[in-house]
Structure 1
Amino acid sequence: MRVPGWLDDTRTSYNTVAVSYADLLRDALAGEPFQRGILALFAELVRAQGNGPVGDAGCGPGRITAYLQGIGLDAFGVDLSPAMIDIARRDHPGLRFEVGSMTSLELADGSLTGLLAWFSLIHVPDDEVPTVFAEFFRVLRPGGILLLGFHAGEGSKLKTEGYGGHPMNVYVHRRSPARVATWLDAAGFTVEAEMVHHPAPNVEGAFVFAHR
């Protein structure tokens, strides 16, 4: 679906919820063994390519960036929301965080060994996904590893509040792994694995690994 103004709406919404979002999710990985295992696999695949810089696209307050750094990757984060980046820099002062959009990354061609989009594609409309995946392909070096985490399923829903009841105005898009894999194939990626996780009743998360 086409969502006019989605970048501005996403930026404004996450600026609004940044503090509550960071507080609610700060320690969430401690209770998510499947997610930790998937991140560990990502790290192993990056190391097999010789290590090198790893980008966390849509990093929010930096919790996943910091976790990747803690398990041995040279990770940095990029996020659309300046408020999120302020929190990431405050909470993880030794790491690099920059404001930016995954639709136009300020990174050199082939400069990354790994790239992660951890539930940050969920607000990207269908017609913008090819642009985002083209950027991911551009900044990864040959053999570079891509990991996507997203909400599985079908359809889109407008989210008008969240993370403590703060106002938001973003669409949440659910996609099947097969659909995402088709977009990745079209962008030139080789898809290596598609997984669906059921962390709670009627909740599905999906993970796709691919490489350039």
Structure 2
Amino acid sequence: MSDWLTDTRDSYDTVSVSYAEQTRDLLDGLPHLRAALRLFAEEVRGPVADVGCGPGAITALLNGLGVDAFGIDLSPAMISLARRNHPGLRFEVGSMTEPLGDSVGGIIAWWSLIHVPDDEVPAVFEHFHRALRPDGLLQLGFHVGDESRLKTQGYGGHPMRVHVHLRKPERVAEWLREAGFTVEAQWLLGTDGAVLFARRG
């Protein structure tokens, strides 16, 4: 496992409980993100992989919207929390840097691509493209910017060691097109976030 993957896994294992507590009601004050989820749920056909699912809140919300969603996360502690908090739903440990294995109708990756280095992103998008069925839908959420920061503390003051990569939507869209996706929409969320909708050809 690459050093950055090990650091990311260990960091989120450390903060898993605090992260779940601090993000539990986050969507209550974010109507545009709730709308993005609803639109994704309306448009997607078939099972959905929530990649970088954390404690499983988005996976559960999608299931509540009628989507057959399951969660994948690098952190075993996050997966343990997700299984405990959302019994009956499927969660498994895995990495977006490896083939997903399942053939799915949709993939959602909300703020999980932010720790993947630039030189690894094209391979991740290739994995997504191969896993999606023809006309499958991809939704990405990420921080907007043009820099990388080392995060050494977070979520309750616990130690972390993860790089957070901020990216311009046009750069992410370019990577998606190179991987064979058609970018259908780009939503800017204020000045620091974006959601992209893309479809496999």
Q: Normalised by the shorter chain, which TM-score bucket?
A: over 0.9
1:35 corresponds to which residue?
33
* 1:135 lines up with 2:127 in the alignment: yes
2:178 corresponds to which residue?
186
Unaligned stretches of 5+ in structure 2? none
1:10 corresponds to which residue?
8
SS of the equivalent of 2:96 reads coil
CA distance in 1, matches of 2:57, 2:30: 13
What does 1:25-174 align with in structure 2 at a 5 Å threshold?
Answer: 25-46=23-44, 51-108=45-102, 111-174=103-166
CA distance in 1, matches of 2:192, 2:188: 7
Unaligned stretches of 5+ in structure 1? none
**Structure 1 counterpart of 2:22, one-letter code:** L
RMSD (Å) for aligned C-alpha atoms: 0.9
SS of the equivalent of 2:153 reads strand
What is the CA distance between 1:32 and its match in structure 2? Answer: 1.3
What is the CA distance between 1:27 and its match in structure 2? Answer: 1.5
**Structure 2 contact 114–166 (Cα < 8 Å) conserved:** yes
CA distance in 2, matches of 1:37, 1:106: 27
CA distance in 2, matches of 1:84, 1:90: 10
SS of the equivalent of 1:59 reads coil
Aligned length: 199
What is the CA distance between 1:44 and its match in structure 2? Answer: 1.3
**Structure 2 contact 100–131 (Cα < 8 Å) conserved:** no
CA distance in 1, matches of 2:86, 2:146: 35
**Structure 2 contact 48–107 (Cα < 8 Å) conserved:** yes
Identity of aligned residues (%): 64
What is the CA distance between 1:119 and its match in structure 2? Answer: 0.5
TM-score normalised by structure 2 residue count:
0.97
What is the CA distance between 1:79 and its match in structure 2? Answer: 0.1
**Structure 2 contact 100–127 (Cα < 8 Å) conserved:** no
What is the CA distance between 1:106 and its match in structure 2? Answer: 3.9
What is the CA distance between 1:45 and its match in structure 2? Answer: 1.2
CA distance in 1, matches of 2:38, 2:52: 19
TM-score normalised by structure 1 residue count:
0.92
